[in-house]
A and B are shown apart, each in its own frame.
Chain A
Amino acid sequence: MASNFKLGLIINPVAGMGGKVGLHGTDNDLAQIAISHGAEKISFDRAQRTISMLVTEQDNIDFYSPGGVMGGELLEMLGINFFEIDLNENLYFNKTNHLHTQNAALKMLDHKVDVIIFAGGDGTARDVFTAVGSKVPILGIPSGVKMRSGVFANYPEHAAMIILDALAAAQDGKNFELTNADVLDASIDSREYSNSQFFGSARTFKAPNRITNPKVNSHSNQDVALMELAAHLSKNLEPDRLYLFGPGQSAKAILSNLGSSFANQDQSGVDAYYAGEIIGQDLSEKAILDLLSRFDDKRKFQAPLLYLGVIGGQGFLLGRGNQQLSYEVISKIGVGNIYVLANSGKINQIVPSRLYVDFGDAVHFKIFSDYIKVHVAIDRTLVCKVLSSGVQSNQ
């Protein structure tokens, strides 16, 4: 082997923090707000799940990373030697911004890394892509709120497996297979959930079972059957039941059928409805848990019901754009009280069948059974396989 495999690592330390508190990202000043709302650090833990699987190969990989919260801290903790990318400033947890990411990626180009692996969401992907374009393959460890770009592994463990495969290929003197993937991010002035703007085509690994499809914009695909289902469900809401509506068009379509005052809801948050009224909008994890406690008197209320969509082409049930629906929330609602609805065309594109659940850690994956019914029209369901986060879902 001529030289070692060169891997660049960038962690966006504030990525994903907005999810549970009901913010839709941590760009710009939102990180500050997230912290003040009690958000937890996410990307460090997720990156750890990936990098710890590479520890045994550290003799064959040269790591490149900025210091401190952007990667160095983690590598040091795992006892991995690395070449520090100097950004000429001290990096503090809540003081990094998109320029740091871009800078780090640019400098990695100078070192001719074989791949840049980053922990973050769509915003981070966009920053890395802005710096390196298609000059070097990039791979995301899913750690953001939204991950619609086609460069993210399904789970942190999958990112490690992709790297291990690429390493093995390199050691055999083979080229690992690359492909183009869309980099998408929310359009600048829209918080509308279903709107993604295309920023360009990055290079990433060809690993269809381990890399999430780019999210497909749902606008163009008017699904009459699904809209009929939403209308049907809206007519059958019961007065003694708390209803929660997850992000996205499908679940929100039920609400918009209730009348104009319910229409045009912000599609990106979790909303609550009870006895003819919206009783909460854009709820955080904590707010949902509080609501669930208020409604847990079984003599007065039926069990709450969660209407949940599926994230377009990505096939994510939980863990993308809806992190406020945390493990605690879902286990309190009960899996049996989740009603999944989605466009049949989109779900049918996911072959082999896979819907993903990612509670952000590798522990809480046992809650879902292996198969779930996705309602695609009145009296029509598709039965899909559910993969929950963690190494048990190696594919």
Chain B
Amino acid sequence: MSKDGNALPTPHPFMANTAPGSFQEMLRVAKVNDIEELFEQIPQDHKFTGEWNFDSAIPSEASLYKHLTGILRKNRSGEENLNFLGAGCWQHYVPAICDEMVTRTEFLTPVWGTPSSDHGRNQVWFEFQSQIGELVGMEFVGLPLYSFGTAGGHAIRMAARITGRNKVIVPRSLDPERLAVFKTYCGFKELSGYIEIVYVNLDPKTGRIDLMDMKSKLSSDVAAVYFDNPNYLGVIESEAKELVALAKTVGAEVIVGVDPISLGVLTPPSEYGADIIVGTTQPLGVHMNAGGGAGGFIATRDDEKYAREFPTLQVSLTGTSVPGEMAFGLTLFEQSSYGSREHGKDWTGNSVYLWTVANATYMSLLGPTGFKEIGNTILQRSHYAAKQLADISGIKITWGSGYFKEFVVNFDGTKKSVATINKALLEKNIFGGKDLSLDFPELGQSALYCVTEIHTLEDIQNLVSAIKEVIK
């Protein structure tokens, strides 16, 4: 039951002015007799007068904790289970200091602030942009976007604005989840700004984009060629340079999506000619959070052609009134939706800026050697797992080489569906790889397995023996 307007508030730990006295003092100064006077602008017939039938309040923290954890403990997680799911969200180890920083109240609770009020946080933003720029080899980086897919979607729209064209070529192997986001961003042909999505095939022998097919799809109305490296099915596009050269023959922009954790060992897309690089930030020190760890970035050369199309906000290093002092202020704010409403470049808003704290901390902890090391560990472990699985009769690794942390495992020879196998694995506390049979029927009963630095030799052996049992 709700209280009527005049009832005094009930003391609550989140509201100082529910204490006796404060509320009355404010009423007195504001010259309010009846609290409803304050709502005089709202016509009576707009106001809700019914019964709420709301769940009762739990103002005690102890009780609240018990209530919440009681529900949430029903979950199973990658911590106490062996998780081989990737496909757009990946389980990496999150260093304790990353968690410490993102839960610091100073970082956790504020809003945007200004260069004067929140210098420290603005510096983190700059360090995030700088370190991402270093990993991908680009000089202009914005603050993060909601996700990998939204970063890609905005990048495609940037390319369409830059070229004045309205077609994008994407590989057929694109993550269906991300492709769905791209489709949303590319719009409807009935409306303005529509971008047609054209699909380029992958070579079934290699899992890479079919260069001949790419050639046939390219035309002078193509705004952008988009591909991921490694691609969704785990394969490294080793002919990236050739792909870029092809795209350039028709003047298309090249957008490459990357997993930055691979860039200690893989060539950054800037070196093979990408114009716009997008990617995920989740592997860099952010928990999976059931998908709530998602984050994305856009990076380009420091060229006005690109900079003036960024939809994001970004901080720039600048000076202050004191020589030698550094400050960090927003650049190109006026082209954002905050600066120009519907005349701006797409739109921005609250994004995932807190994750820049985790990302910057993570990148600083790893350093050049750490990135190389983690890349190597992932490469070796994923290849070892694939090898072990390939040795099981009835199982094939669809593309046996040239991948980073994910690879496609085919179960056709076991005469069992991935669904059945995964269900059985679940009973053994194993989350099997992402079932691809619905999204990619041409791959048969296949699953996308993800192996990272968290998977030990023993974990891999457990997986192998579990699968052997399951397919018997």
Contact = CB atoms under 8 A, between A and B. Distances in A.
B192 A379 contact: yes
Interface string A204-243: 0000000000000000000011000000000000000000
B342 interface: yes
A376 B340 CA distance: 12
Interface string B11-30: 00000000000000000000
A377 interface: yes
Interface string A362-391: 000000000000001101100000000000
B343 A380 contact: yes
B192 A344 contact: no
Contacts of A224: 343
Contacts of A376: 343
Nearest to B335: A224
Contacts of A379: 192
A379 B192 CA distance: 9
Contacts of A225: 340, 343
B388 to A, nearest CB: 58
Interface string B202-228: 000000000000000000000000000
Interface in B322-344: 340, 342-343
A136 B16 CA distance: 54
Interface string A336-362: 000000001000000000000000000
Nearest to B341: A344
Helix, strand, loop or mixed for chain A's interface?
A: mixed
**Chain B: number of interface residues, binned into ranges:** under 10
B316 to A, nearest CB: 21
B194 to A, nearest CB: 13
Nearest to A377: B343
**Which of B192, B340, B343 counts the most chain A CB atoms within 10 A?**
B343
Contacts of A344: 343
Interface string B91-118: 0000000000000000000000000000
A196 to B, nearest CB: 25
Contacts of B340: 225
Contacts of B343: 224-225, 344, 376-377, 380
Nearest to A344: B343
B377 to A, nearest CB: 50
A15 to B, nearest CB: 39
A377 B192 CA distance: 14
Contacts of B192: 379
Nearest to B340: A225
Interface string B334-357: 000000101100000000000000
A20 B457 CA distance: 91
A224 B192 CA distance: 19
A377 B343 CA distance: 8
A224 B335 CA distance: 11
A244 B421 CA distance: 75
B244 to A, nearest CB: 31
B29 to A, nearest CB: 28
A224 B343 CA distance: 9
B345 to A, nearest CB: 11
B354 to A, nearest CB: 33
A133 B284 CA distance: 67
A225 B341 CA distance: 12
A342 to B, nearest CB: 13
Contacts of A380: 342-343
B344 to A, nearest CB: 10
A97 to B, nearest CB: 47
Interface in B282-332: none
Nearest to B344: A225
A225 B342 CA distance: 10
Interface string A240-284: 000000000000000000000000000000000000000000000
Nearest to A348: B341
Nearest to B193: A379
Nearest to A376: B343
A115 to B, nearest CB: 38
Contacts of B342: 377, 380
A187 to B, nearest CB: 29
A377 B344 CA distance: 11
B162 to A, nearest CB: 15
A267 B343 CA distance: 26
A344 B340 CA distance: 10
Interface in B134-192: 192
A225 B335 CA distance: 11
A50 B401 CA distance: 90
A344 B341 CA distance: 11
A224 B340 CA distance: 11
Nearest to A378: B192
B380 to A, nearest CB: 53
Contacts of A377: 342-343
A267 to B, nearest CB: 24
Nearest to B342: A380
Nearest to A228: B343
Interface in B237-261: none
B40 to A, nearest CB: 21
A187 B340 CA distance: 32
A50 B377 CA distance: 88
By Cβ-Cβ distance, the 4 closest A-B pairs, closest first, are A225-B343, A377-B343, A380-B342, A379-B192
10 contacts: A224-B343, A225-B340, A225-B343, A344-B343, A376-B343, A377-B342, A377-B343, A379-B192, A380-B342, A380-B343
Given A224-B343, A225-B340, 8 more contacts: A225-B343, A344-B343, A376-B343, A377-B342, A377-B343, A379-B192, A380-B342, A380-B343
